Amino acid sequence: MNTLKNEFDEIVKLCEERVEEYGERASYFMEPATEEEILEWERKTGIQIPEDYRQWLKLTANCQICSNIASLVFPELEQPDFLPDDYVLIGYVVGDGEVLCFSKSTGEYITYFEGKVNRKYDDFIKFLYGIKKSIRGEAPKIKFTEEKIKAMMAELEEMRKSKGEIR
């Protein structure tokens, strides 16, 4: 828990340093969840919350980080219809509809957007590293294979053809 507490403290500090940029109400960290609240949710759903997210909830049950960088939440009893059955929604990322979930079967963390998995994390701290980079304004390192670039170019060409921009 010490490492997760350190990550939490660092994120709070980074948010405080960005008040001028994002505004005073852009970040908040609500009261922690109790072990009893977590156990009650698990009993009602039959789902076990991964240990690292359980520890995060004991630091803050709900938070918003620098407006739309991320919101992390205590899971609801009912999950949204758009999610696969294996996923439990625990947050919102970048404010564009991307959500953070954990897998009931594997415990890994997934960012999910428009019906597709964007990224997978084997632990919650790795997700938090990305959040800290976003707060600092560090661009993520994106690596594209030649195959991926060709596929993206083909998709762009098809879109332009459908709009009548090219023949």
Q: What is the mean pLDDT of the chain?
A: 89
pLDDT at 157: 77
Strands 70-72 and 87-93: antiparallel
pLDDT per residue over 91-123, tens digit each?
999 877 899 999 999 999 999 999 999 999 999
Q: Quick one: pLDDT at residue 107?
A: 94
- Which residue is associated with the tokens 């053809």? 161
Gap between the terminal Cα atoms of the chain: 58
| Helices 2-17 & 124-136 angle (0-180, nearest 10) | 20
Q: Encode pLDDT of 117-164 as tens digits.
A: 999 999 999 999 999 999 998 855 555 566 767 777 777 777 777 877
Over residues 11-21, mean pLDDT: 91
Give residue 154's pLDDT: 77
CATH architecture of 2-140: 3-Layer(aba) Sandwich (3.40)
Contact 20, 88 (CB under 8 A): no
- 34 vs 138, more confident: 34
Per DSSP, the residues of 34-75 read: PHHHHHHHHHHH--PPPHHHHHHHTT-SSEEETTTTEEE-PP
Lowest mean pLDDT among 16-20, 71-75, 81-85: 16-20
The pLDDT assigned to 144 comes to 55
Domain boundaries, the chain: 2-140
